[in-house]
Chain A
């Protein structure tokens, strides 16, 4: 009952779907060429989007451990350090820990290549310091915090490690804009490709359309098989784009990991996630549907 029941309930949709599949299969070369064009058009913005999304996740991760180092003056004593500590407790900027100058020297001695330098020092030149982990606050907040710390007594230097993260942030914003523009451009191209494919099909089926309308076919009935065709072609183009993006991701993964490892960053580029994959195929289908819709509507308006 299920199969025949479906075709009984929606015989027109079922017939339209069948006709769409038949048309796709009836000219495999044309279909293949269309899919290559649609796939390539979708692949570029899709790849940009997937990569950008990964970078954004990565940027969020690193800005999540944003640090502000507050260095005391070298002649500051225990009282001054206690004063800063109490002020920090009041300001409550997140986690912090105190690094005593002796501790800092010890860690310098343990750092490879620095042991000789440390041993050659007559006295400890390092100051007491506080390392503040300000949580996932925005760059502006961090800057304000740093300004505040700088104004406190016996603080010699405040170092905020957010400059490069702001650069990354700005870069990602430009990247997002570029991907959006690219996506709009290629979405237009995809709609145009579908529009033209459907236009040629309509011309080939002008007789059937004319007769169907004369014997009572609604515009929706005329549009339906073309809409399914456009959506199906777009979805298949999306799948093709997806395989391209996954391929690019796979090809880039190893060299990118090596490059990033040189900067001491653990980051795996990888391919699209499942929701991203679904979105790429879905967008392909929606744009294909749109192209078909526009194409048939223009034709129907022209023939009156």
Chain B
């Protein structure tokens, strides 16, 4: 599903965010990327989502090398991913339902089918009764669940989440964990960047630990 080979990301100021990272993630795996802030978690997330390209090395997602991807091919790669951003990137000018409809309108699904799928996604994250609400009226945990619903509405086989429980109280975080587990159980590959210890305790998952751009102890 994901194959990284000697990936280095250097920013113009000479900062090396990632240094010679190599790892493999199989289909259906659940992998956590941990490390202090500034360790390179978000950089790795941005590379996997093809927001940025590696300075050197290759990183393949769904068999496509991000480093060599044509600009025009990036949207089609992203449609196969579910992306959950640290800052959620919800649109506050439209309802909860319309936020979830956005990915479906991008792929051109007919309205009736799109609404059916969007409601199913909202149902999975427990927000079906809030579909008419404005995102600003949702709690922090609800906003994060809305972001998850938008990420999974296209039924991606790979879900990437950057700090999905940052700034959430433990009960809200716990709900998010349960939702992720249910996706993992139906075979979705899950890659979560987090420094939240709760995850480790709950799942004892495979962990990729980053420290100053280098990969430490990958047990796999």
Nearest-CB distance from B105 to chain A (Å)?
6
CB-CB contacts below 8 Å: B92-116 with A? 92-93, 102-103, 105-111
Say yes or no: B91 contacts A216, CB within 8 Å: no
In the complex formed, the residue of B with least CB distance to A19 is B105
In this complex, the member of A7, A211, A216 whose beta carbon has the largest number of chain B beta carbons within 10 angstroms is A216
Interface status of A163 (Cβ within 8 A of chain B): no
Q: What's the tally of chain B residues with a CB closer than 8 Å to chain A?
A: 26
CB-CB contacts below 8 Å: A196-218 with B? 207-208, 210-218
Looking at the complex, which one of A7, A15, A211, A217 makes contact with B89 (CB distance below 8 Å)?
Answer: A211
Interface status of A186 (Cβ within 8 A of chain B): no
Interface status of B181 (Cβ within 8 A of chain A): no
Nearest-CB distance from A18 to chain B (Å)?
11
Q: Which of B32-40, B77-85, B126-134 interfaces with chain A?
A: B77-85
Say yes or no: B49 contacts A221, CB within 8 Å: no
Looking at the complex, which one of B79, B107, B111 makes contact with A7 (CB distance below 8 Å)?
Answer: B111
Q: Known contacts A7-B111, A12-B108, A211-B102; decide if A216 and B79 are in contact (CB<8 Å).
A: yes
In the complex formed, the residue of A with least CB distance to B77 is A216
Interface status of A11 (Cβ within 8 A of chain B): yes
Say yes or no: B110 contacts A212, CB within 8 Å: no
Nearest-CB distance from A214 to chain B (Å)?
6
Say yes or no: B106 contacts A212, CB within 8 Å: yes
Say yes or no: A216 contacts B107, CB within 8 Å: yes
Interface status of B14 (Cβ within 8 A of chain A): no
The interface bits of chain A over 215-248 (1 if a CB of B lies within 8 angstroms of the residue's CB, else 0) are 1111101000000000000000000000000000
Q: What class of interface size applies to chain A in its complex with B? A: 10 to 19
Q: Known contacts A207-B91, A208-B91; decide if A214 and B51 are in contact (CB<8 Å).
A: yes
In the complex formed, the residue of B with least CB distance to A221 is B106
Q: Known contacts A214-B78, A215-B150; decide if A15 and B83 are in contact (CB<8 Å).
A: no
Say yes or no: A215 contacts B78, CB within 8 Å: yes
Say yes or no: A15 contacts B79, CB within 8 Å: no
In the complex formed, the residue of B with least CB distance to A13 is B108
In the complex formed, the residue of A with least CB distance to B105 is A15
Q: Known contacts A208-B91, A214-B49, A216-B76; decide if A7 and B105 are in contact (CB<8 Å).
A: no
Report the Cα distance A12→B129, complex, angstroms: 27
* CB-defined contacts of B91 to chain A, threshold 8 Å: 207-208, 211
Q: Known contacts A216-B76, A217-B75, A218-B75; decide if A11 and B103 are in contact (CB<8 Å).
A: no
Interface status of A125 (Cβ within 8 A of chain B): no
Report the Cα distance A116→B134, complex, angstroms: 98
Interface set of A (CB-CB < 8 Å, partner B): 7-8, 11-12, 15, 207-208, 210-219, 221
